[in-house]
Amino acid sequence: MVEDKTLSSRLFNITNATLLIIVALLCVLPFLHVVAGSFTTSAELAEKKFVIFPTEWSLSAYKYVFSTDTIFRALLVSIFVTTGGTLWSMFLSTLTAYGLSRKDLVGRRIIMFFIVFTLLFNGGMIPTFLVVQQTGLLDSLLALIVPVSINAFNMIILKTFFQNLPPSLEESAKIDGCSDFGILFRIVIPCSMPAIATISLFYAVTYWNTYMHAILYLDDASKWPVQVLLRQIVVLASGMNYDGSVYTEVPPPEQSVKMAVIVVATIPVLLVYPFLQKHFTKGALLGSVKG
Amino acid sequence: MNANSNLERQGKPALTKTEKRIALKKSIKKNKWIYLMILPGILYFFIYKYVPMFGLIISFQDYKPYEGIMGSEWVGLEHFKRLFSDPDFWMIFKNTLILFALQIIIFFPIPIILSLMLNEVRQMYFKRSVQTLIYIPHFMSWVIIVSISYVLLTMDNGIVNGTLEAMGKQEVNFLLNPDWFRPMYVLQVIWREAGWGTIIFLAAISAVDVQLYEAARMDGANRFRQMWHITLPAIKGVIIILLILKIGDVLELGFEHVYLLLNASNREVAEIFDTYVYTAGLKQGQFSYSTAVGFFKGLVGLVLVIGANWLAKKAGEEGVY
Amino acid sequence: MRWNQSYKVLIVFTVLIVLVACSNNKDESASNDEESGNQIEIMTRLHTPEVPEPNIEERIEEKTDVELDISWVPDNNYDDRLNTAFSTGTLPDVVYLGFNQFNQFKDAVRDDQFWEIGPYMDEYENLSKLKEDVLDNALVDGKLYSLYQGRPLSRQGLIYRKDWADNLGLDAPTTTDEFYEMAKAFTEEDPDGNGEDDTIGLTDRDDLIYGAFKTVSSWFGTPNYWGKQDGELLPEFMFPEYIETMDFFRDMHENGYINQDFPVTSKSDQQNMFKNGSAGLYVGSMGDVGSIYNDAKEINPDATYDVHNRVKGPNGEYGIWAIPGFGSLQLFPKSSVETEEELRKILEFFDKLMKPENANLLNWGVEGEHYTVEDDGAVPDENTQKFEREVKPYQSLPIGEPETNGRYEINDPYEPKRKSEELNKDNENFLITDPSITLESESAIEIGDRLQEGINDATYNYILGEIDKEEFEQAVETWRQNGGEDIIAEYNKSYENSKE
């Protein structure tokens, strides 16, 4: 690509970069506060409220968090659910999205309408619990995956991306004698890597954040993912107990421990994005296939 | 394929039932693998989404958990009457719609603008770093965000008010003044979700053919013109689909977020359906009433989505269905 | 090729999932079969971040000869979990309910969904020791369906910065006027002596009940939720004392003696102000002094605190609001406890839990490992983390209270904390009880919370100076018209019935 070096273009670059730096800083400051807070004492947090550079460094919060295997087990569960769930969801979503992206499919509009409908109405917690119970998923980690196999929103986005591929691609493949599955796996998916990466990320994050289902469907606390732990400690530590639950005398967990748990539960999922980022430029591939 | 979709679009009203059936049979025969592909997905939606929907009928019952859906008494539209006759109904309806409008008008364009800005960055490292940083806030729970906002904005030694005071300005009661609720809500949503929202648009932008930019540059188009005439049109389809889906999401404004911001002074502007149903139904285990309110919300969403989809199609775009 | 491979991986994965799902199914049915035996399933709240290590549980199992299966449910989601289990017929053998949930469950209790245990109580040596007047608060139509975990009737009182008071030559406030003077002095007279105007009096939070308001209102002599006026039961906010309390807070707020944003301040932020020397008064549970001091001493080693309870209102009398005397109730659903025999087995288990050795085990852990005994009181081990992980969660299980189950009271090394325990007992000399506890009102259950929200809003807005007295009375009128009138009528009817 030829870089354009006119004055206006440079000015544009500088302004653009400055604005983006400001936005990035604004986004990252509170997280820095959380990270800094996890490396200091609760006393300093109570004193200063907003800490970016702790005056008193301390690893005690992490020592506490890692002193039992609870958090490791919870992280393992989360990693398992996230990887397994994302693969499974992507598999189903890709098939469904591709099928429904085919304009020659009779009945596709009505099917799409019924899928959109599920975004608007849901039966609620209890009927869903009954179905999960009847399908034999209670107390199994699959209860965190199967009932949310396809997110209609994600599937529709994926379908939109598939639809936007130039039709000539598929047609030429068909002429070469490719089957429908062949077209999907050899042409459509490789040409849609940015979309596949995006939707995988969406699924991964949803699975990572799941906690309500774990509480409802899993009695065995050793199967709880890390979000349950995180949620519990954040709510307890903030004293924002909107249940107003009665007469508890248990003092809240330490603020620095709360921060440490947030860091430990967030870093793994933050690392996913940089790994997926390289796929966001693969769109270039499209040009080459087309040419 | 083109012929087929033409048939679908133009010829539809003219088709008789038998013709339709023939078309379906043909399609099934021709696309049997495609139908097989979507079968697992359809089964999923049926089992885990449609089967539980039978639970919606409790909104027409006086549901008692121990009597079950079969045994509970039918009360017809009683719960809906209660909702509509609640003296605060219109206030809640209005608040919900206003927050929704703010989401669509103010929040929605921001990720698009941000992703256009990111797309103009040529240094890959810088671009990727910024991307990674701006998506961090999405992982902070509302409890954390609201409590950090409190520390910044409180009148009791808050950081912002402290600065205002030091500058000799009047302190501002951000947290209790109802006028500040909506700006605060929108700003927090932007802060948490804008960076996250860029991901999808960046994916769409990456599909744009690079040659188009070069051609445009030859024609002397500046950067803004390139954005306007090449990038935006290329991602228009995704934008419209997202907009329609977002509109369907109209009444999902984030219960937890609003609930945490809600207080005695701002209730008149901050109470929405989700917070209302929490105190008026869920807290007391009134499942029928809360389900009825959810049902009503769904209906409003349905009307909006059908409307939005119709408009999109009218404008010659691909709708969601 | 590459895609073909991933395709295979996915198929294998699908098959795996199906297999796991099926095998899981079998496990479940297997465990259901052998449920009889000595197993007891319990569902209770988890008040700590983590589920406890099982060693206490194992010891209890050994001593009581049962096999426990405890479902820990995070505190904040307990209602959801409970309602789901209830609606889907998956309740465990023993359900722990708080007071509010109990009110919602009364319908089901009347519908014979739970075992009535009243007739069995006398057969058990320890269960029969449970306090009559606390059990009375848990009756439904005069019948007993539950055991209870006891709580001090009132922990409410005042914690203040002793060093600040000493600096200014102030004693603990004995009247509301003195309390006001103290808040004023703490705000205006530089109690920390740093020469800066950086302190306030009272730190409060977004909670009219467990924050300062309700406690101060009982100093003023306001009834506890409901009170009698001219022979009729009326809600607290229709009493002049309630208005007086609001005026008191309004005045303090206007003068800056209380944190300006208290209606949106969370408990942790409220406590931070008290810990870091921004505020000098804290009204709420006196026992909080322990955890507050823990952090405060790190910030300022010279900070000293004291607790206090006796504060007289303008009427010259002491008063403090009381809770029903229990923290949770234990109910036994008929859906899971199918026979009388099973019920007896469970009651026997709870009877054993009330032995001092077992009650101590659940409350304090293992002697020598988690606590030591000094002056007939339990001194928790200094390793608080160990205690928190291994013992604290179990504190939600035992029933009764020290007087009935013979467990040790706390003997905290921190003097004000010990004093707070004594003052909890002293509070019992001038309790204001809630007459509505055992009364019934359909409307209160259905719309009570929503209506109360309007009153709470009006109370805050009055204190903040947003509305005047007339507008507050308007809010009360709205409460009446939107269903409050029914609540009053129903409570009074229920009250009349209960006297007969």
How much is the pLDDT for C93?
Answer: 95
How much is the pLDDT for A3?
Answer: 54
Decide if B253 is inside a domain.
Answer: yes
Distance CA(C58)–CA(A121), nearest Å, equals 46
Decide if B276 is inside a domain.
Answer: yes
Q: Are residues A157 and A257 in the same domain?
A: yes
Quote the DSSP letter at residue C138: T
- Comparing CA positions, the residue from A201, A206, A211, A207 lying closest to residue A261 is A211
Reported as a pLDDT band with limits 50, 70 and 90, residue B197 is very high
The number of folded domains in chain B is 1
Between the alpha carbon of residue C45 and those of residues B284, C149, C291, the distances in Å are 18, 13, 21
Q: Are residues A19 and A106 in the same domain?
A: no
Q: Are residues A129 and A270 in the same domain?
A: yes
Reported as a pLDDT band with limits 50, 70 and 90, residue A1 is very low
How much is the pLDDT for B13?
Answer: 52
Decide if A6 is inside a domain.
Answer: no
Question: Is there a contact between A250 and C395 if contact means CB atoms under 8 Å apart?
Answer: yes
Decide if A4 is inside a domain.
Answer: no
Distance to chain B for A274, nearest Cα, Å: 7
Residue B280, chain C, CB below 8 Å: the answer is yes
Q: Are residues A120 and A227 in the same domain?
A: yes
Residues of C with CB under 8 A from a CB of B: 79, 83, 86-87, 101, 104, 107-108, 111, 113, 198, 200, 206, 259-261, 263-266, 268-269, 273, 278, 445-450, 453, 456-461, 464, 466, 478, 482
Between the alpha carbon of residue C51 and those of residues A102, A220, C393, the distances in Å are 50, 10, 7
Decide if A1 is inside a domain.
Answer: no
Q: Are residues A23 and A95 in the same domain?
A: no
Q: Which residue of C has its CA nearest to B68?
A: C87
- Judging contacts by C-beta atoms under 8 Å, the chain B residues touching residue C79 are 282-283, 285
Strand partners, C72: C44
Strand partners, C379: C372
The DSSP-derived string for B1-68 is -HHHHHHHHHSGGG--HHHHHHHHHHHHHHTHHHHHHHHHHHHHIIIIIIGGGGGGGGGGEE--TTTH
Any residues with CB less than 8 A from the CB of C235 and at least 6 apart, and which? C225, C226, C455, C479, C484, C487, C488
Question: Is there a contact between A119 and B249 if contact means CB atoms under 8 Å apart?
Answer: yes
User: CA angle, corner A266, sides to C44 and A189, nearest 5?
Assistant: 115
Strand partners, B74: B61
Which of B60, B199, B212 is most worth mutating to test chain A (most A CB atoms within 10 A of its CB)?
Answer: B199
Q: Are residues A176 and A264 in the same domain?
A: yes
Query: Chains near A, with 3+ CB pairs < 8 A?
Result: B, C
| Average pLDDT score, chain B | 87
Percent of chain A at pLDDT exceeding 90: 49
Any residues with CB less than 8 A from the CB of C334 and at least 6 apart, and which? C112, C113, C114, C115
Strand partners, C148: C329
Decide if A282 is inside a domain.
Answer: yes
Residue C10, chain A, CB below 8 Å: the answer is yes
Q: Are residues A44 and A105 in the same domain?
A: no
Decide if A3 is inside a domain.
Answer: no
Reported pTM: 0.89
The predicted-structure confidence for A16-51, as pLDDT tens digits, reads as follows 999 999 999 999 998 999 999 999 988 888 888 788
Question: Is there a contact between C261 and B154 if contact means CB atoms under 8 Å apart?
Answer: yes
Distance CA(C449)–CA(B275), nearest Å, equals 13
User: CA angle, corner C291, sides to C288 and C294, nearest 5?
Assistant: 140
Decide if B190 is inside a domain.
Answer: yes
* Each residue's pLDDT expressed in tens, for chain C with a length of 500 residues: 344 454 554 455 555 455 444 444 444 443 444 445 789 999 998 888 889 988 999 999 999 999 999 999 998 888 889 888 988 888 999 999 988 788 888 888 998 999 999 999 999 999 999 999 999 999 998 899 999 999 889 999 999 999 999 999 999 999 999 999 999 999 999 999 999 899 999 999 999 998 999 999 999 999 999 999 998 999 999 999 999 999 999 999 999 999 999 999 988 889 999 999 999 999 999 989 988 998 899 889 999 999 999 999 999 999 999 988 888 899 999 999 999 999 999 999 999 999 999 999 999 999 999 999 998 899 888 888 888 889 988 998 999 999 999 999 888 889 999 999 999 999 999 999 999 988 888 899 888 988 999 999 999 999 999 999 999 999 999 999 999 999 999 999 999 988 77
Domains of chain C: 33-153+325-407 (3.40.190.10), 156-321+432-438 (3.40.190.10)
Distance CA(C191)–CA(B221), nearest Å, equals 69
Decide if A46 is inside a domain.
Answer: yes
The number of folded domains in chain A is 2
How much is the pLDDT for A88?
Answer: 97
Q: Are residues A83 and A47 in the same domain?
A: no
Distance to chain A for C100, nearest Cα, Å: 9
Do residues B189 and B103 lie in contact, with contact meaning Cβ atoms separated by under 8 Å? yes
Q: Are residues A139 and A224 in the same domain?
A: yes
User: CA angle, corner A144, sides to A142 and A145, nearest 5?
Assistant: 65
Please name the helix (run of DSSP H) or strand (run of DSSP E) that holds residue A149, with its range, or none: none
Reported as a pLDDT band with limits 50, 70 and 90, residue B250 is low
Decide if B57 is inside a domain.
Answer: no
Q: Are residues A54 and A85 in the same domain?
A: no
Residue A139 CB neighbour total at 10 angstroms: 17
Residue C98, chain A, CB below 8 Å: the answer is yes
Residue B175, chain C, CB below 8 Å: the answer is yes
Q: Are residues A160 and A278 in the same domain?
A: yes
| Sign of the dihedral through C-alpha A149, A150, A153, A158 | positive
Q: Which residue of B has its CA nearest to A274?
A: B132
Residue of B122, B126, B321 lying closest to A109 (CB–CB) = B321
| Average pLDDT score, chain A | 86
Distance CA(C376)–CA(C360), nearest Å, equals 12
Chains A and C form CB pairs within 8 A to the count of: 172
Greatest Cα pair distance in chain B = 80
User: CA angle, corner C378, sides to C376 and C382, nearest 5?
Assistant: 140
- Judging contacts by C-beta atoms under 8 Å, the chain C residues touching residue A228 are 74
How much is the pLDDT for C11?
Answer: 52
Mean pLDDT score, B29-47: 91
Residue of B65, B156, B279 lying closest to C261 (CB–CB) = B156
Q: Look up the ipTM and state it.
A: 0.89
Decide if B147 is inside a domain.
Answer: yes
- Judging contacts by C-beta atoms under 8 Å, the chain C residues touching residue A252 are 267-268, 291
Distance to chain A for C264, nearest Cα, Å: 10
Distance CA(B189)–CA(A287), nearest Å, equals 36
Q: Are residues A54 and A73 in the same domain?
A: no
How much is the pLDDT for B14?
Answer: 56
CATH number of the domain enclosing A241: 1.10.3720.10
Strand partners, C227: C234
Decide if A7 is inside a domain.
Answer: no
Residue B258: domain span? 88-314
CATH number of the domain enclosing B196: 1.10.3720.10
Which of C187, C261, C274 is most worth mutating to test chain B (most B CB atoms within 10 A of its CB)?
Answer: C261
Query: Chains near C, with 3+ CB pairs < 8 A?
Result: A, B
How much is the pLDDT for B285?
Answer: 74
How much is the pLDDT for A6?
Answer: 77
Between the alpha carbon of residue C125 and those of residues A25, B191, C350, the distances in Å are 67, 61, 11
Mean pLDDT score, B5-25: 63
- Judging contacts by C-beta atoms under 8 Å, the chain C residues touching residue A91 are 10, 13-14
Residue A24: domain span? 12-58
